[in-house]
């Protein structure tokens, strides 16, 4: 999928309207790109194989396409996708006579541990925010993307001198560059409704 950076930062209601009203393929692709990690993560966390997760993803995307015009709250697409994906997982589990563990009763479920997400609504919000954060990151220029990924998403995190070498940055410029990149990321997240 190749979509313009303008699409990656537009809020869901705008992308949905563009998809429906103007038949804008890039808007549809931006929605799918924004939520693909969220959709894939649910069947994996419920114990399905990557192949089953891909099947669930395809089915959920089809359901989204069929129901997009009927969404009552276009600003709540993330929670709708979480619920729809869970239902599809349960349907697939019943079909195969091997139901996946119920996240509410499974003793290995991290949602029952005290220091993790305790309710479905909190889990939905956490997954949605994670998905929006990744979508916003994709809206940054490649240099900012690379720097923030190295600083915050690479394990183990490289030393500053290694980052300077990898990115061909001047000595002592990581701090100011990081600050500018985080400001850009915050503006994108604000436009996407991250804090609303």
pLDDT tens, position by position, 111-161: 444 443 346 666 666 767 777 787 788 888 999 999 988 888 888 888 888
Per-residue pLDDT of the chain (196 residues; tens, 9 = 90+): 555 557 777 888 899 999 998 888 899 998 998 899 889 999 998 889 999 999 999 999 999 988 888 888 888 888 889 889 998 998 888 887 654 555 554 444 444 444 433 466 666 667 677 777 877 888 889 999 999 888 888 888 888 889 999 999 998 898 899 999 999 988 888 887 776 5
Measured CA distances, 90 to 54, 62, 134, 162 (Å): 15, 17, 27, 46
pLDDT at 62: 93
C-alpha 147, offset from chain centre: 20
Answer yes or no: pTM beyond 0.75. Answer: no
Rounded to the nearest 10 degrees, the angle between the axes of helix 12-21 and helix 77-95 is 70
């Amino acid at each position: 999928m190749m979509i313009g950076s303008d699409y990656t930062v537009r809020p869901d209601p705008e992308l949905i309207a563009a998809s429906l009203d103007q038949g804008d393929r890039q808007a549809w692709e931006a929605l799918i790109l924004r939520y693909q990690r969220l959709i894939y993560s649910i069947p994996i966390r419920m114990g399905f194989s990557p192949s089953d997760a891909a099947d669930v993803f395809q089915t959920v995307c089809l359901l989204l396409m069929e129901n997009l015009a009927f969404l009552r709250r276009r600003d709540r697409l993330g929670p709708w996708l979480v619920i729809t994906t869970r239902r599809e997982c349960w349907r697939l589990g019943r079909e195969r006579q091997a139901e996946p563990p119920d996240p509410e009763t499974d003793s290995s479920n991290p949602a029952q541990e005290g220091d993790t997400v305790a309710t479905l609504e909190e889990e939905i919000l956490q997954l949605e925010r994670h998905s929006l954060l990744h979508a916003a990151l994709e809206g940054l220029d490649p240099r900012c993307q690379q720097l923030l990924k190295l600083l915050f998403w690479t394990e183990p995190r490289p030393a500053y001198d290694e980052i300077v070498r990898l990115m061909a940055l001047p000595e002592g410029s990581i701090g100011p560059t990081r600050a500018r990149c985080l400001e850009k990321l915050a503006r994108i997240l604000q436009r996407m409704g991250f804090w609303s």
